Amino acid sequence: MKILTLVRHAKSSWSDTHLSDRERPLNKRGERDAPKMGERIAEHGIRPSLIVTSPATRAWTTARIIAAEISYPIEFLEREDGLYLASLNELLAIIAEQDNEFNNMMIVGHNPGFTELVNVLTNEKLVNLPTAGIAVIDLPINEWKDVMEVTHGQTGNLKYLSYPKLKE
């Protein structure tokens, strides 16, 4: 069994029109929501052995904040260029190439790919994974490369879903 945690980056700012999309930082709400969601991850005992993040500033910052909240060494965060606005197929390919030593992986990235991924890997019909949203999926696989098989019949179990506006 592998556990995949998807974290959509926290809310980002559009105020500086000179920044590229990739460079946009978190806004005040994002700076407030990211630690809150890190606390929820810790409270639910979600302990990733690997965190891979999009290099976009908003995703990287979210990953750093969450790592700090769950006592994950920030120096072990891995940036993956392919996660920046990755499509469903790109996300599956990135997951499939991860080291099997890691049984519990967290990916920090973007929509619409994350919402699509939740729906493909589970029987859920999620309309939108909100900013700073978390989806934890138990996958019935022994190797990450087998994630492709989950999309063709076998399904994962959506173990936990949360987002900032959800009262817990």
What DSSP string runs through 117-146?
HHHHHSS---S---TT-EEEEEES-SSGGG
Does 54 have pLDDT greater than 80?
yes
According to CATH, the topology of domain 7-98+122-134 is Rossmann fold (3.40.50)
Q: Which of 102, 87, 18 has its CA nearest to residue 52?
A: 102
pLDDT tier, 154 (very low <50, low <70, confident <90, very high otherwise)? low
pLDDT confidence of residue 41: 97
List the domain boundaries for the chain: 7-98+122-134
Q: What does pLDDT average to over the chain? A: 95
Per residue in 109-142, pLDDT tens? 999 999 999 999 998 899 999 999 999 999 999 9
Paired with 109 in beta bridges are 8
Q: What does the alpha-carbon distance between residue 74 and residue 92 come to, in Å, rounded to a whole number? A: 24
pLDDT confidence of residue 74: 95
